[in-house]
Every structure is written in C-alpha cells, then in structure tokens.
Amino acid sequence: MLARLRHRGPDGRGERTVGDTWLGHSRLSIVDLETGDQPIGDRAGDRWVVCNGEIYNHEDLRSRLDWSFETRSDSEVALAAVTTYGPAGVRLLRGMFAFVTATERGQVVAARDRIGVKPLYWARVDSATLFASELGAFDEEHRAHVEEFPPGHWWTPDDGLVRYADLDHEGTEYATESEARVDIRETLVTAVRRRMMADVPVGVFLSGGLDSSLVAAILVDQAEPGQVVHSFAAGTPDSRDLAAARLVAEHLGLEHHERVYTSDDVVAVLPQVVRSMESFEPSLVRSAVPNYLLSELAAQHVKVVLTGEGADELYAGYDHMRDIADPSELRAELVRSVAGLHNLNLQRCDRVTMAHGLEARVPFLDLDVVATAQRVPIGWKLPGELGQEKRILRETFEGWLPDEVLWRRKEQFGDGSGTAAVMAERARQLAPDVDWRSVTLPGLPRARSREELGYQRLFLEHLDGVRVDQVLGRFATA
C-alpha cells in the first residue's frame, strides 16, 4: 500500500510496527527537514503517529502542551495533543490533516480535519481496519470495502466514529459592511500568512481570476523584503486565464511561470489525470487537466503552492447560485457547498498536486475565514451593479489588484484555460459508442454525457471494484 503512494511523498519513506498496528508514511519534506521523518514517536518509544498535512498552530500548541518534543515537526504536535487530551485533542488542531496514532498497548486514533482538505479512506475487513490517503493504495480484494473517512471525525476501536466539529458556524451577523470588510480582510491575510509556514519555498497558482489573484497579492504583501514569490499559470495558447494571470503577475512583481499546452497534450495526459484524481466528474476533469500540467511545472520550482479554492462556496460565486432568491435557502446552499468540497474541488486539488509531490494549501478555507464569511448577511454576497458575483469580497480588497482583474467576471478554470473546448472536441474519441446513452458500466451510475462515459472507462481501468457510493459524495443518495 505504501509503495502505491510514493508520488505523494518522494522525499522519504518510513514504517514501523506498533503493537498490533503497522504505520507507513511517504514523506514530502516541508517543515523540519532534518528531524521530521515519520512515523514520529514519543521519548519513550511507546506512542507513534503518521500524519498527512500541516498543523498551522503547532508553534502555539508547543508552548501549551506538557510534552517533551523530540522534533520541530508540526505532526508531532498532533501526537502530543491526542496523548494529552485523548481523541478530543484533535479539536485543538488548526490546519489540514489526516493522521493515525498508535501505542504499544493497542490504543489507536484516526482523525481528519473539519473540512476534509486532506484525504483519508478506510476499509474494515474482518478484524483489520486499513487506512490510506488514496483509493489506489488499497489491494484489489479490499476495494469493495473502502469508504471515505468523513471530515470532522475521529475514530477509535472502542468508541467508533465520533463527530467533533460542524461547519455551520453560529455567530451574530455583521451590522455594517465596513465592519464586515475589516474582518474579511484581516482573517484572509492571517490565513495566507499561516500558510506561508514552511522550510521550503512557497508559490501560488494564478488563474487570473479574483480568488487566486487575491491570494497572490496577500502573499506578496506578507513576504519578506526581497523574497521572490513564484506564480504559475496554465492554458491553451489563446486562453483568457493566461492573459489575465500575466497582468496580475506583472502588477505584483511575481516570478511568473507558464505551462502552455495543446489539444494533443490534453488527450495524452488525460488517462493519468483521471487515474490521479480518482473521479470521473466531468467538471472536475476539465479543471484537473490544466491543474495537473500546472502542478508538474510548479513542482520543478517549489514544494508548496497556495490556491484560491473555497471562495466561491463562501461568497456565492457560482452562476447557479444567482437563481436562489430566498436568503435562508442560499445560506443553506453555501454551507452545503463548503461541506461537500472534500469530494469535489478539494479532491481534485489534492490529487493533481500530490501526483507530482507538490502540496496545495487553501487559505479561503481557514476556519476563521469560513466563520467570518458565514457572519456576512446573504444580501451582501449577491451580485453588485455590474453583475459581478462576490461583490463584498471585491470591495474589501479595492486597491490590491488592477480593476480589470478585481472586477473580472468569474469563469470555470476549465473554461478560462481553454480546456473545456478541447474536451468537448475530443469527447467522441473518449466514447465513440453510437448509442452512448444506453451504455452502463459495472458499479457506476449511468453517464450523463458522452464525455463522462469516457472518463468512467478510464476510472474503471484504475479502480475497478470500488463502490462509488461509498467514496464519491454525490452518489451517496443517488
């Protein structure tokens, strides 16, 4: 299983048997390059952890926990918190993570962050419980048992699955827009600063849209004097995203890199993209192709990138949300959208970056940023006079970006990068069936388009036997 996850951690591999538990870890070295190899144990060698992700408040927790730290790794803080407070210690952790701790006496804790930024799957087979970061890690005979480990939960053999957090934050709505703008700006700036935590260079994915451009602007603002900030953009030669990203990069003084690709490049990489992403959702695949090519480029320069994921779910950035007239209904839709990200955009974001040993961080999904956004009255999130979505977010950062970028209308990444047009052109090659609507594939729902049927076939080549209703959220109630 560990060998199948080598791409996620090309910098090292570690394993250890702890009591009746085997722990394995493929390491991408970002924090504590010298002593942060995993599994990480306590001083007595009795308690051990393997952790995927980043604990952004680990320095603060070090000063509060009664623990003899052996490393500077943020992952050791997860072990210390759970050892000190039991499984409930996971509530102290702020960041993106999935981890398992084990002791020689058979005490095991598994946990995943509240939003599900980092993936975790598990399979309960006879007397064994198996965990892994990707579906492809599991043996073929175990695939039918694999389920997604839900975000915001921990698990122990004795207590079973326990929910420790909700995403629907309760808080008094802001009374004035000026008060809201102050908090929106401060929480997002702080979130970006937290995600600059690394002992290696940090860059930014730049589509030229509002969200990634804001992250880039804040990253530059928070960088040390003279620090070079690398940005990365991808698209077909005439894509609108590339043009907009160049404008932002020049305005901010970024060290800008581009991946310009052709229709043939898309077709050539498509099987590996679907395999890496572990999904056949057409909208995700279209955006995953440029992100996959972009990650391949970025991994040559940095180990960490910041992205703009999550802003649309917080501030009603999607076109279909314009049609929801009832404020309470729209609020519920936004909460549902954030809660569902782990099966959609976050899954794509994690897989296509980690396929190249690159870590993506998402400041818009910092818990403080999410809580602030949920205090903003729905009316302030509706389109402004010019029709642009996310009006209050744009107004909050006036002066940070050129107006033509700050007020640019949203496009899906696959559309703006030119990939959607390419995929529509190639759909017949992916599924040449004359009557594609009548085709059904084992264990999968009927395809909604010729394009999706092609992606389903690629998916089955990699993960035949996986029950999609247990691992892909949108099929859970189908």
**pLDDT for residue 238:** 84
DSSP 72: S
Handedness of CA 81, 83, 89, 95 (dihedral sign): positive
Structure tokens at 224: 């040390």
Contact 206, 243 (CB under 8 A): no
Q: From CA 258, how far away is CA 80, in angstroms rounded?
A: 42
Higher pLDDT, 407 or 183: 183
Instruction: Report how far apart the first and last C-alpha atoms of the chain are (Å, whole number).
Output: 30
> Hunting for tokens 């050791």 — which residue is that?
76
Domains, the chain? 3-163 (3.60.20.10), 177-475 (3.40.50.620)
What average pLDDT does this structure show over 324-335?
89
| CB atoms inside a 10 Å sphere around CB 20 | 12
pLDDT digits over 191-247, tens only? 999 999 888 889 999 998 999 999 999 999 999 998 999 999 998 888 888 999 999
Higher pLDDT, 383 or 48: 48
Handedness of CA 58, 59, 63, 64 (dihedral sign): negative
Contact 458, 282 (CB under 8 A): no
Q: Is the pLDDT of residue 478 over 50?
A: no
Handedness of CA 3, 456, 294, 402 (dihedral sign): negative
Average pLDDT, the chain: 91
Structure tokens at 263: 């229709």
Q: Report residue 471's pLDDT band, with 50, 70 and 90 as the boundaries.
A: very high
DSSP states along 27-64: E---S-TTT--SSEE-TTS-EEEEEEEEETTHHHHHHH
Provide the angle, in degrees to the nearest 10, between the axes of the packed helices 177-194 and 367-375: 170
CA distances from 214 to 3, 203, 219 (A): 38, 13, 8
Q: From CA 110, how far away is CA 97, in angstroms rounded?
A: 11
| CB atoms inside a 10 Å sphere around CB 41 | 20
Q: In what order do the strands lie in the sheet containing 108-112?
A: 40-41, 47-55, 95-103, 108-112, 153-156, 160-163
**pLDDT for residue 410:** 64
pLDDT digits over 345-367, tens only? 999 999 999 999 999 999 999 99
Indicate the residue type of 371: A
Q: From CA 365, how far away is CA 440, in angstroms rounded?
A: 37
What average pLDDT does this structure show over 260-281?
91
Give the angle 122-127-129 at the CA atoms, nearest 5°: 15
- Helix, strand or coil, per DSSP, at residue 478: coil
The structure's pTM equals: 0.94
Contact 222, 193 (CB under 8 A): yes
Give the angle 144-150-153 at the CA atoms, nearest 5°: 135
What average pLDDT does this structure show over 66-85?
95
Q: Is the pLDDT of residue 385 over 70?
A: no
DSSP states along 410-466: P--HHHHTTHHHHHHHHHHHH---TTGGG---TTSPPPSSHHHHHHHHHHHHHHTT-
